[in-house]
Structures are given as structure tokens and as C-alpha cells.
């Protein structure tokens, strides 16, 4: 029987647009205030891409940094997965556009859509594909231009989101943080809790869908809040139980960066001190699939992890989807 192939994070990179949109400036566009946004979400500012900047542009910059950080040659990468709900276009995939721009050979490329859980779903898929022995080195990216689907007249949603990208190189060779396990799940029974009503085959673009502003993100914030806390707590508990760890064994948690109140509620229910949760949502807002890799890359750059640390990554998104990942540094 062949020995199990080790999967490690060889390198990471992230990128955000230059333009900063603070709460004060945003309050000039919609009926809100800096105090209202910060007190309810923890967000102070977010990055917004220029009109000509695309999701693939953000992904490209993050990918270049991850490749350099990992010290791999382009020729070594044989798999590209891009997690996004804001692709450059419906098809071809953003991964294919990125493959050409990076100068990769004819490698396997595809997009994965699981909203805010997308990056962790993609890690799980890449991990399994490498474990199969058919692939050796994956470029996994979470990238979003959320500003492109925001209704800038809806203060309940436009204050929450930002743009950005994060990338990781996952390999069966080399040294780095080890991917120990995953837990992914979904519940599609109530998709309208968080969705983009029009633009697909159910409601193709028309004068009516545009007039009704159905191409923008719609969200039931109260229900999403309750669901997020509940399912992320369970995803963490189940993942730890799978690998026979206790809550007290966890050294750090990188949560989806949606709302600081969600993180605080989850921490309370898990009885994990907030000091163990790494958050950067105050400067980025909710960047959907880019959220986890942006935060993880920043945490690594800040040297918050020590050798041997057990780290949990956890996310929740539209679908509804959820995912948790266990990493040993």
C-alpha cells in the first residue's frame, strides 16, 4: 500500500485594490454613518476595484505573490482552481483566463462557486486531487470584485463588502503548514437568504430584471447572522472531533471576515478567547471567497503562528454553504 502523500501550503500571496472606501465617504452615498457601520459590523473601510479592474486582475496579482513566496517554477503547477462568485464572465472560467496570463501550460483549470466558503471548498478539492496521485502542485485562489454586484443604494448590503484576492500554492512536495482535514457542507433549502436573483438561466438579463435591480446581491441579514454562527460552530466542533482534538487544543482561528459580531458570538459559543481569532475585516470588509486567504496571508506575514500551532479555518456563505479546515503549522 502506497504511503499517503503529504499536502502542504508552500506559499501564499494576497492583493487588494488601491482605492480605499471609508465609512465616512460611504455615508455620503447612502443613509448611514461611520458609527452605525462600525458598531454593528466592525468594518471601518474596504477596498474597491476601479471600473477597469476585474476579478482576474486581482487574482493574477495574488497568484504571482504566492508563486514567488512558494519558490516554485511555473512548470511545476498542474492545477488551478479559482473560487469566485464574481467571475470576469460566465465563461470561460476565470481560472482559464488566469492560466493564460500566468503563462502556464495546458493544465487543469476551473472555477468553483461556493460563495464565502469557496476558498476552503477549493482547498478541499485540491487536497483530494493531489492525494489521488494525479496532481502534484495546485494554485488555489479566492478572488472577488464584490463591488460589481453591490446595490450602492442599499445600505444594508453595500456597507459590508469589499474587493480583493488571496492565493495559496498547495503541493505534495516541500515543507510548510500541513493540511490535516476538512469539513464541508451545504443546505440549499432557502437560497433567497443570500443570492443574486437575476443573470442566470432562471432569470436572464432583461429590461425588467434591470429595472427591479435583480442583478445585485440580496441578503436577509438577520437570518444569515443566526445561521452563520450556528453552522460555523458545528463545522469546527465536527472537524476537531473527526481528528480527535479538543477545543482547548486550538491555538488560532481564521474565521470568515463577515461581521465582528458573528465572530464574537461564535467565540462565545465555542468558549474560545477572542484573542485566538485573527480578524482584518475592519480594513477589508467581507471579500467573500477572498476573505480567508487574505486573512491567512496577513496572519502569516505578521508571524502570529508558531511551529506546531493547530489552526482552524472556518467559513460560511451563500448556498447556504459552510466549510472548516484544520492546519498544523
Q: Which residues are catalytic?
A: 116, 256, 286
Type and span of the H or E element at 119 = helix 118-131
Distance CA 145, CA 163 (A): 5
In sequence order, which residues have a C-beta less than 8 Å from that of residue 106 and are 6 or more positions away?
A: none
Q: Collapsing DSSP states into helix, strand and coil, what is residue 261? A: helix
Which cell numbers in the block locate residue 318? 451563500
In sequence order, which residues have a C-beta less than 8 Å from that of residue 116 and are 6 or more positions away?
A: 256, 258, 286, 288, 289, 291, 315, 316, 317, 318, 321
Count of other CB atoms within 10 angstroms of residue 65: 19
In sequence order, which residues have a C-beta less than 8 Å from that of residue 289 and are 6 or more positions away?
A: 83, 84, 85, 114, 115, 116, 117, 118, 119, 142, 143, 144, 317
Distance CA 253, CA 278 (A): 6
Distance CA 307, CA 171 (A): 19
Q: Cell 466592525 belongs to which residue? A: 42
Burial (Cβ within 10 Å: 0-12, 13-18, ≥19) of residue 30: middle
Q: 101: number of CA atoms within 13 Å, CB side?
A: 16
Distance CA 302, CA 297 (A): 9
Amino acid at each position: 500500500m502506497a504511503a499517503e502523500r503529504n499536502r502542504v501550503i508552500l506559499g501564499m500571496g494576497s492583493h487588494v485594490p488601491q482605492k480605499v472606501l471609508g465609512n465616512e465617504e460611504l455615508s455620503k452615498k447612502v443613509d448611514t454613518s461611520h458609527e452605525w457601520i462600525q458598531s454593528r459590523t466592525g468594518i471601518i473601510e474596504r477596498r474597491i476595484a476601479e471600473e477597469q479592474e476585474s476579478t482576474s486582475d486581482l487574482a493574477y496579482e495574488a497568484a504571482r505573490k504566492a508563486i514567488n513566496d512558494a519558490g516554485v517554477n511555473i512548470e511545476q503547477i498542474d492545477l488551478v482552481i479559482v473560487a469566485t462568485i464574481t467571475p470576469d464572465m460566465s465563461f470561460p472560467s476565470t481560472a482559464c483566463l488566469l492560466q493564460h496570463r500566468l503563462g502556464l501550460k495546458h493544465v487543469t483549470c476551473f472555477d468553483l462557486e461556493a460563495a464565502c466558503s469557496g476558498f476552503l471548498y477549493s482547498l478541499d478539492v485540491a487536497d483530494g486531487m493531489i492525494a489521488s496521485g494525479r496532481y502534484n502542485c495546485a494554485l488555489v485562489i479566492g478572488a472577488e470584485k464584490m463591488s460589481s454586484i453591490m446595490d450602492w443604494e442599499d445600505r444594508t448590503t453595500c456597507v459590508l463588502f469589499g474587493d480583493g484576492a488571496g492565493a495559496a500554492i498547495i503541493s505534495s512536495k516541500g515543507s510548510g503548514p500541513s493540511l490535516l482535514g476538512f469539513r464541508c457542507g451545504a443546505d440549499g433549502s432557502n437560497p433567497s437568504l443570500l443570492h443574486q436573483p437575476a443573470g442566470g438561466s432562471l432569470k436572464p438579463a432583461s429590461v425588467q430584471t434591470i429595472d427591479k435591480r435583480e442583478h445585485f446581491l440580496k441578503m436577509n441579514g438577520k437570518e444569515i447572522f443566526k445561521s452563520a454562527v450556528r453552522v460555523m460552530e458545528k463545522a469546527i466542533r465536527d472537524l476537531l472531533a473527526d481528528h480527535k482534538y479538543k477545543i482547548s487544543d486550538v491555538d488560532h482561528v481564521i474565521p470568515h471576515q463577515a461581521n465582528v459580531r458573528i465572530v464574537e458570538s461564535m467565540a462565545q459559543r465555542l468558549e474560545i478567547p477572542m484573542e485566538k481569532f485573527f480578524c482584518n475585516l475592519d480594513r477589508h470588509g467581507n471579500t467573500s471567497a477572498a476573505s480567508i486567504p487574505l486573512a491567512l496571508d496577513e496572519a502569516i506575514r505578521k508571524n502570529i503562528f508558531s511551529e506546531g500551532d493547530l489552526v482552524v479555518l472556518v467559513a460560511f456563505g451563500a448556498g447556504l454553504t459552510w466549510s472548516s479546515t484544520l492546519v498544523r503549522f
